[in-house]
Amino acid sequence: MSNEEYAPTKPEPKPNCLRAACITCLVLVLLFAALTFYTFSILRKHPAVRRSISEVKAISQCVNQLIEINGALKRYESRTGNYPESLDKLYPRFLEDRSALHCPSDLSPKSQISYEYFMPKKGSPGKTLVLRCTHHRIFEKQEPITIKVYLNGSVETIGPTVSSLKNIRPALPRNKPRPSG
């Protein structure tokens, strides 16, 4: 007996099985991608989802504006030695664009200042609340999402509590009248 007789032989690959498995896997991936695309395209048309997306964008813009205002407050304080009595004192010398004083979610006239300002005293600690916005709601009857900016530049966003989310309805688009009945 020679060693050649007992040498292990490799099993012959079954190309048809491997090919079928690859095709099945590819079909499943394509099906998953199509279902995901379809689901997101349907969801994007839903008013509550569209409202949520637009409100998230408005919150992001609001945070950027509050940070810009906080920077203007610091510039004002470094030049004058104290903080302004009101936010309108920042424009035009310390704040380039007056529209930064108006929250994108505030429905009041754009000429009005949207943000609450808490004038800090000289030498106040960094964790002193300076600016606050409460104009963001994703759903009707929801507590507002509150954005706070502190003297040191830190930003805190406080969302609604779970209990406030009971029995809520999606907010209607701003420009459309409420249905009667």
DSSP letter, residue 9: -
Structural domain contains residue 2: no
| AA identity, residue 159 | G
Structural domain contains residue 162: yes
Mean predicted lDDT score pLDDT of the chain? 80
Q: Bigger pLDDT: 18 or 107?
A: 107
Structural domain contains residue 41: no
pTM: 0.64
What pLDDT does 162 receive? 46
Q: Give me the percent of the chain exceeding a pLDDT of 70.
A: 78
Structural domain contains residue 178: no
Instruction: List the domain range (segments joined by +) for residue 67.
Output: 48-170
**26, 32, 159, 167 from 22: Cα distances, Å:** 6, 15, 46, 48
What does DSSP say about strands 116-117 and 129-136: parallel, antiparallel, or unpaired? antiparallel
Torsion-angle region of residue 110: left (phi > 0), alpha (psi -120 to 50) or beta?
alpha
Structural domain contains residue 127: yes
Which token pair is 132? 């606050």
Q: Give yes or no for residue 169 having a pLDDT over 70.
A: no
What pLDDT does 178 receive? 47
Structural domain contains residue 30: no
* Over residues 83-112, mean pLDDT: 89
Structural domain contains residue 175: no
- Structurally, the chain folds into a number of domains equal to 1
Residues making up the chain, counted from first to last: 181
* Over residues 7-34, mean pLDDT: 78
